[in-house]
Amino acid sequence: MDNEKPLTLAFSPCPNDTYIFAALANGLLEDAPPIRVHLEDIENLNNSALQGNHELTKISYAVVPDLLDKYTLLRAGGALGHACGPLLVARPGTGKTLADFKDKLIAIPGERTTAFMLLNLAMGARPQTLAMRFDKIIESVAGGTVDAGLIIHESRFTYKESDLVSVADLGEWWEAETKMPVPLGAIMIRNDIAERAGEINDAIRRSLKYARENEKEVMKYVSEHANAMDAVVTRKHIETYVNEYSDDVGKDGMAAVKELFRRAREQGIIPEAEPVFA
């Protein structure tokens, strides 16, 4: 496959993604397709996918209904699970429940993120928001720029260092409501190469297997993109977001995605959409 044109693969620099894709991205797998990597923040990935820019891309489940004319969901490489949902955090004394922030300004990591979809579903209405990069939200809340912040990724492990408190764990809310894992993100394959879905699913699974068996080697790649993240936080991030659903979304995961879409559709957040996994 040395002369094969590389496929473009876009994912975030977060430890769960770099851990899963390290072997594939660095050409460490025999007979795997060559890959050209693009690293972007999740909201940038969502917006880029809407343009069909990359053949393989990580996206938020919330944007999937707008992508089905261009992409198909893959079964491997996604982010679902238990105890891994987004948190709404605030300064102490500013509110104790979601209802307390209904008319206050909330920083969010993007309007197309699953985190924001879950916040809308849990609140039952669209709150007043200010979109920004996920890694800027904690300082904005702590500094008083906004009243609360919707945090994702490693921020769930560090917000207490800024003297913030958790108002609501939207993953816990989702699991209490549905008894299902919370769907966060997925990998999609562009429809013009969808016939290669089986090959790509296999390559992703082999890349994850390689990471689990060669962690010392893979963690070098993870650390390069972790923005000087503390090693303990990096490890917690991987342990939280890399799990059995990373290998395969499974029946439970697919049912959770369908339920997410059903609730969002009933609330008028998304159009009619049927998630299809290849």
The DSSP secondary-structure symbol of 199 reads H
CA 52 – CA 189 distance, rounded (Å): 10
User: Token pair 């992508």 is at which residue?
Assistant: 67
Strand 87-90 relative to strand 165-169: parallel, antiparallel, unpaired? Answer: antiparallel
The DSSP secondary-structure symbol of 126 reads P
User: Does domain 87-178 bear CATH number 3.40.50.150?
Assistant: no
For residue 205, which of 37, 78, 65, 57 has the smallest C-alpha distance? 78
Judge if 7-81+181-266 and 87-178 fold alike in CATH terms.
Answer: yes
* pLDDT tier for residue 4 given thresholds of 50, 70 and 90: confident
What's the gap between Cα 26 and its chain centre?
Answer: 22
CA 155 – CA 10 distance, rounded (Å): 22
Task: Tokens for 17, please give them.
Answer: 């993604």
**Which strand ranges, in their side-by-side order, compose the sheet holding 105-108?**
128-131, 105-108, 148-151, 87-90, 165-169
For residue 187, which of 84, 50, 25, 76 has the smallest C-alpha distance? 76
pLDDT at 2 > cutoff 60:
no
pLDDT digits (tens, 9 = 90+) for 8-21: 999 999 999 999 99
CA 28 – CA 1 distance, rounded (Å): 13
pLDDT, residue 229, reads 77
54 included as an active-site residue: no
Share of the chain above pLDDT 90, in %: 94
CA 25 – CA 11 distance, rounded (Å): 11
pLDDT digits (tens, 9 = 90+) for 42-88: 999 999 999 999 999 999 999 999 999 999 999 999 999 999 999 99
Q: Which residue among 38, 82, 153, 225 is the active-site one?
A: 153
The pTM for the full model equals 0.95
Question: Do residues 29 and 203 touch, judged by C-beta distance below 8 A?
Answer: yes
CA 115 – CA 151 distance, rounded (Å): 8
* Sequence-distant (≥ 6) Cβ neighbours of residue 222 within 8 angstroms: 15, 18, 19, 22, 234, 238
CATH number belonging to domain 7-81+181-266: 3.40.190.10
pLDDT, residue 248, reads 98
Q: Mean pLDDT of all residues in the chain?
A: 95
pLDDT at 1 > cutoff 50:
no
Amino acid symbol at 214: N
Domain ranges of the chain: 7-81+181-266, 87-178
CA 207 – CA 27 distance, rounded (Å): 10
The DSSP secondary-structure symbol of 277 reads B
pLDDT at 103 > cutoff 50:
yes
Helix, strand, coil abundance in the chain, percent, nearest 5 = 45, 20, 35
* Sequence-distant (≥ 6) Cβ neighbours of residue 5 within 8 angstroms: 34
pLDDT at 227 > cutoff 90:
no
